Amino acid sequence: MIAHLFTVIWNRKRANALVLGEIAASFLVLCVVCTTVAYFVHNRRQPLGFDWHDVWRVRIGFGEYHTSSEEVRSATWERLMRLQQETRALPGVETAGLMINTPYSGDTSSWTMKTPRGELDVLIGAMAPEAADALRFRIVAGRMFGPGDESTDWIPLVVNRKLAQALFGDADPLGQPLPHWDDAGRLREREADESDFRVIGVVADYRRDGEVSASPYAAFSQLRAGPNSWPPECILIRTHPGTTAEIEERLAHRLHELAPDWSFDVRTLASRRQEALRSRLMPLWIGGTAAAFLIVMVAMGLMGVLWLNVTRRTRELGLRRALGATAGGVRLQVLGELLALTTVAVVLGAIVFMQAPLLGIAGWVPWQIYGAGVLASLLILYLLVVLCGLYPSWLATRVHPAQALHYE
């Protein structure tokens, strides 16, 4: 029976070519959308790595201040440290600290580290210990920055668990310097002009861009004030639970008093989180809308083509009824031919779609996510095809044998 259905499809390949192409294109679009949804759902289930509740972010515009000279940088640092202290003293504030590359900031500061398994893009940031307290990182090994770390001859580093695993494997990373590899993947000694980083702590995770974003490799160092360091542009402030939005006015007023020639953008991390979610989900909404429109068009085309086929095959279907075929058998024949055609289109579409992981396109997406996207697309497409074929298959059972015998 199955072989017969595919034989019928092959014999009508010219008539079915357009429908075959539409189904294959719909399957590809569905695969992209469903894989994206599966990817976001997978990320959403992973730990975020920090607590954004009751946290405010103050972004500073230095105005006429330029940080190109050491003298100006020193003056900028002095004012920033005073801003941090004064902010921490405001009523309702639990802690406040300076930070570079804050959550939901959209900054792109990163390293490229060479490893035996290839290059790693590492998200980097620098923070005061108070900023780490504001975000409430979950320490899984070692500790966060503390007093005295800013005066060491080496640079204390806190990494996330993903980076620690990539650099040190199953070995204990605490107290270890960052390994250096050459282009051939061999360990080498640190050169004289290279900074001496040593790991003092490991955090569980740090998905800076929010719940639906991937977990990057991440590393943090402690801010070191001075003319040779670039001043941060953000202050993170954690307020006591239940603190109202009135603190925004008090905070902005106090900051303008201390630095009237600077500008300040005071926002909650909750609002930044919503903006990040919208920007991340917007391509999904656009793709989902396009996929829905395409699927509706394909459904209408399928129903029209099946209806036309049933009309053209009045003699064939009527003769089958005259020879004893049941209404259920005729219905299954029409649906079976449609499902066989869909299977051919799905195979072609899957071959094209699975080239993405094989070629390393979107290599950050696990194989399991691709599989879930393809499986969901199959379920949606076959359900749609069956629904589109129900009425034409029912119409085929209404052909009376006498009508087929008098067919001209």
- The 10s digit of each residue's pLDDT in 85-133 is 988 888 889 999 999 888 887 666 777 777 777 778 888 888 888 998 9
DSSP string, 358-381: HTTTTTTS-HHHHHHHHHHHHHHH
- Please name the residues in contact with 269: beta carbons below 8 A apart, sequence gap of 6 or more: 52, 55, 56, 57, 103, 104
148: left (phi over 0), alpha (psi -120 to 50) or beta: left
Strands (E), 146-233: 155-160, 180-181, 187-188, 197-203, 217-222
Q: Cα(21)–Cα(16) distance, rounded to whole angstroms? A: 9
Q: What is the mean pLDDT of residues 237-245?
A: 86
- Which helix (H) or strand (E) segment is 112 a member of? strand 110-115
pLDDT at 160 over 80: yes
Distances (CA, A) of 133 to 31, 238, 277: 42, 8, 24
Q: pLDDT, tens digit, for every residue of 289-313?
A: 877 777 777 777 766 666 666 665 5
Are the C-beta atoms of residues 15 and 8 closer than 8 Å to each other?
Answer: no
Look at residue 185 in the predicted model and tell me its pLDDT.
63
pLDDT at 200 over 80: yes
In angstroms, rounded to a whole number, what is the distance separating the alpha carbons of residues 169 and 129? 27
The answer to whether the beta carbons of residues 119 and 363 sit under 8 Å apart is no
Please state which of the ranges 150-159, 162-171, 249-258, 305-314 shows the lowest mean pLDDT: 305-314
- Residue 396: predicted pLDDT: 59
Structure tokens at 133: 């307290």
What are 386's two structure tokens? Answer: 């069956």
pLDDT of residue 408: 47
Q: Which of 205-209, 307-311, 315-319 has the highest mean pLDDT?
A: 205-209
Per domain, the residue ranges of the chain are: 2-45+282-405, 63-261
Residues 175, 260: Cα–Cα separation, whole Å: 43
Across 255-280, average pLDDT: 87
Cα–Cα distance, 355 to 368 (Å, whole number): 15
pLDDT-derived band at 223, boundaries 50, 70, 90: confident
Structure-block tokens of residue 244: 């109202």
More confidently predicted of 364 and 386: 386
pLDDT one-digit tens code per residue, 64-82: 655 567 777 888 888 888 9
In the 8-state DSSP scheme, what is residue 232? P
Residue bearing the bigger pLDDT, 38 or 194: 38
Report the distance separating Cα 345 and Cα 404, nearest Å: 32
* Rounded Cα–Cα distance for residues 195 and 308 (Å): 74
Going 44 to 45 to 46 to 48, the CA torsion angle's sign is: positive
Could you tell me the pLDDT band of residue 326, with boundaries at 50, 70 and 90?
low
CB 236 within 8 A of CB 53: no
Collapse the DSSP code of 118 into the 3-class scheme (helix H, G, I; strand E, B; otherwise coil) and give the result: strand
Distance CA(408)–CA(2), nearest Å, equals: 31
**Neighbouring residues of 318: CB distance < 8 A, sequence distance ≥ 6:** 399, 400, 401, 402, 403, 404, 405, 407
Which ranges in 313-326 belong to alpha helices (H)? Answer: 314-322
